[in-house]
Amino acid sequence: MVACLDQWREAIVESADAGLPDQVRDIESVSRMLHSVMLHAVAELESRNIAATAGFRNTKQLLTGMLNLSPTEAGTRVTHAGLLAPRRALGGEVLAPLLPKTAAALVAGEIGPAQVRVITETMGAIPAGVDPRERETAEAELARHARSFHPTALHKIGQRILAHLDPDGPAPRDEPEPAPAAGELRLWERRDGRLGLEGHLEPEHSAAFRTLIEQLAAPRPAAAGIPDARTAEQRNADALLEVCGLARAAQDCPTTAGEPPHLTVTIDWDALRTGLGFATLDYGTQISAAQARQWACDAKIIPVVLGGKSEPLDVGRA
């Protein structure tokens, strides 16, 4: 297999411009076929209980540890394998997948993992009381449309199918439902010390957020004939920081004991005095001493004198 891939790489390099799009199309198709094979293998891991033999709690944990997948991705593969891979009855005979049309499209390389995710989520949202024949028709329609539409468009098609199968929507609940979350935001520290952000907002909140960010992220007017050289992503980041600054300066900004949020900066006296060296923030992130000096100009300073073992000797006295 490795030799075949090497030959394919050479063929790509030697391919004429007119033939390169076909090469890309073929590569994508093969990658989708391989994903189908992967799901088949995951289904075999699950059916044979290999995870327990290997010392893992379940197949999801096995994939996470063996392939360095995120728990979410590993769980998705296990779920998709259970729906798209062939099954075995108690007697050992092979049964068709639970979503046969979707499985066939993936095996043929005609749809990808993203379309599979949309189809499985849509099928999972169909009420249990829907006639099995209508359920089969819905799956066939989703698989057919998945060959021609990207995941976002396919999701809209799925929503229309759900509205047709369940026009009344979910049954009302007696108890009041909790207010839905506005979205999700995950923060983590990257290896280079920068802050990573990832998340999403619900549609009713995304419009207001995008409008505000896009207004603040507009390219700055050219100064002295020099245009704004920042990329769109850099302008978005600067706009988000500007929003944070405006929120921090607002009178109704959340406080602790009447004070705005505090930031702890640890810096050597000589570094603070000269602007040379670095300072350390609460989460271990390092910034330049010059940046710390700049922040100190616009802050309430609470000096802390430390002893030789970094023990506080005096707090709050100049």
pLDDT at 285: 66
Model pLDDT for residues 200-236, shown as the tens digit of each residue: 887 667 767 888 888 888 887 766 677 888 898 998 9
Task: Share the mean pLDDT of the chain.
Answer: 83
Closest CA to 240 of 199, 281, 269: 199
pTM: 0.55
Count CA atoms closer than 13 A to 208's CA, side-chain side. Answer: 6
For residue 72, report the phi and psi dihedrals to the nearest 5 degrees. -65, -50
Tell me the pLDDT band of 167, cut-offs 50, 70 and 90. Answer: confident
* Bigger pLDDT: 101 vs 185: 101
d(CA 246, CA 226): 27
- Check residues 91 and 107 and name the one with the higher pLDDT: 107
pLDDT digits (tens, 9 = 90+) for 248-260: 776 665 555 555 5
> How far apart are alpha carbons 122 and 135 in whole angstroms?
11
Q: Which tens digits make up the pLDDT trace of 87-105?
A: 887 777 888 999 999 999 9
